[in-house]
A = this chain, B = another copy of it.
């Protein structure tokens, strides 16, 4: 087997001196696994036979050819007309030859390089990357114990967790919506926080040209890039959602095209909730999701052949009793796996999510999240959005859930290390078995001593003590332990180093754009 991970590259020259070095080493709230890009060498779980893959592909193509997708964006409509698509008002139908020709231009693997080049990501192939929860309007914290509107302070705390944990590879949208910042300037403040508190790949919401352009400019400044350098390869990404069924909105398409032109990362993720915005049958919901995603990727490839695209899945089901969305269900898992088969059929990297419907970080939250994370592994997913911190179907961000999820993510990273399943003679260990025989134990022998510090996953949150020791230590349940760790991480957090001139330029940009009024808030 190949190496399990791309280890951190050799340190490069950067600002920050002693403090910077300490920050790179990281504070010591917990002992965690090192930064690495996990490689998933498991053969994916594939519930569809070849004829099933063909049937879903055929369904997606028929949706695009016969039913069409609404593109609520004049510029996109003109481009697609020019490309030979059938445009009737806002409805666009595209033939499978065109779609497949465009999809074939999309690379199956690409990189994103944030301001710290040691955090470069590879998207596609066998890489499996994790991102923090994105976009919940609300926040839940053990010490308050109720749902609260998101604030900038909460958002900053969650960004600190996103930076702190090595198992979080990229920073998604706002980890909670800071509703105490006016929407016209919210992107400026949060991106400033994100780019100073983290050095990982960042994301732009496609919510109007000003926001998109501001974020690209801030990422460019933070990376110390010229405009040409910024455009040379992806430094950041956007994720757009279709308005299912069968519709792409104006601002989403606008951002999509802007990032395509600037050569940045593009992820399209339809939210096809089976029984609500998509057919009640999972194959139908997956086919519709693929159609909605593929037409956006075709548009990007027409604008910029070879644009860095990934297809997302967010297909789940509703609770048919209440109509509420459900997450981490058996149907969700199978939809993710099916979409994985189709993503490989199209040669596109896959994005899925870490999700649950639970309202608090309890047992239900963890079985639903485990279901969704294992489905990500089994499906051959490349980017896992919302992998840490998500509650209530994405309406709540929780720092305790974030910490709990990171324990699971680390276990998945460890699970993918080929050392566990190595079968060299030293692993089979006949001599050690002979040495111990039937009367002893393996604790003290040399074979164990040589390996025990690295032999097994070491948790930072799981309590493996017996009941009596656990009780004597305070009998704390998992969310309480996670709360303490979260507080310790925040208390000892050190921001990654940033060149002072770059920092000043970033602050000046934010100040100028605020003075100009930020972005319009009329949609």
Contact = CB atoms under 8 A, between A and B. Distances in A.
Interface in A406-435: 407-408, 411-412, 414-415, 417, 420-430, 432-434
Contacts of A369: 367
A125 to B, nearest CB: 18
Interface stretch (A43-51, A167-175, A381-389): A43-51
A452 interface: yes
Contacts of A361: 363
A46 B43 contact: yes
Contacts of A317: 455-456
Copies in the complex: 2
Interface string A425-460: 111111011101110111100011001110111100
A388 to B, nearest CB: 13
A467 B392 contact: yes
B464 A357 contact: yes
Contacts of A63: 430, 433
Contacts of A448: 275, 279-280
A326 B362 CA distance: 21
Contacts of A447: 279-281
A433 B288 contact: yes
Interface in A188-222: none
Interface string A254-293: 0000000000000000000011111111111001100000
Contacts of A69: 438
A67 B433 contact: yes
Interface of A: 1, 42-43, 45-49, 51-52, 55-56, 58-59, 62-63, 66-67, 69-70, 91, 138, 140, 146-147, 245-247, 274-284, 287-288, 317-324, 326, 329-331, 333-334, 338, 357-371, 374, 378, 392-393, 395-396, 404, 407-408, 411-412, 414-415, 417, 420-430, 432-434, 436-438, 440-443, 447-448, 451-453, 455-458, 461-468, 470-471, 475, 477-479, 482
